[in-house]
Amino acid sequence: MSFYATFDAMITVPKSVDKEAIIERIKDAFDIPEVWTDDKTESSFDLWFGEYAKYDEDSIYTFLAEIEPYTISGEITYTGEDASNWRHVFDSETHQWMEQEGYVAYREDGKTIHESMAFLEELAKQTRELLSAGTSEPER
């Protein structure tokens, strides 16, 4: 399965891994032009990338399986063309990549759904009253 998605990723691997080889492998798997690196400690380095590119499930899963033995930590988040959200997170206890799906739930300033609905209903009521009275600015 392949389609376009936005990627945002950071993976930490030990310095014993061939940095140039893993960078090329990431570019191939994710069909992206650039991967950035940063020496995190004396024994590891970070790889990060973000791009809007083709998401090819087979090549990404093959890549994750290949680097799994060398991964210290990592997270790759995706947003699909249809606004779906998911990510791969490296579980350091099991030493495996896990896929998680996500859904966005919006809340206004930490209010409950009922509080937000009551606020919107009151705002709509005030707006209707002001429009019928010929005023243009509701109270906040």
Query: pTM of the predicted model, to two decimals?
Result: 0.69
Per the rule left: phi > 0, alpha: psi between -120 and 50, beta: everything else, 134 is left
Domains of the chain listed by start with CATH number: 2-102 (3.30.70.260), 105-140 (no CATH)
Cβ partners under 8 Å of residue 30, min gap 6: 7, 49, 51, 53, 55, 59, 60, 63
- List, for residues 110-129, the tens digit of each pLDDT value: 777 788 788 889 989 998 88
- List, for residues 65-120, the tens digit of each pLDDT value: 999 999 999 999 999 988 899 999 999 999 999 999 987 766 667 777 788 788 88
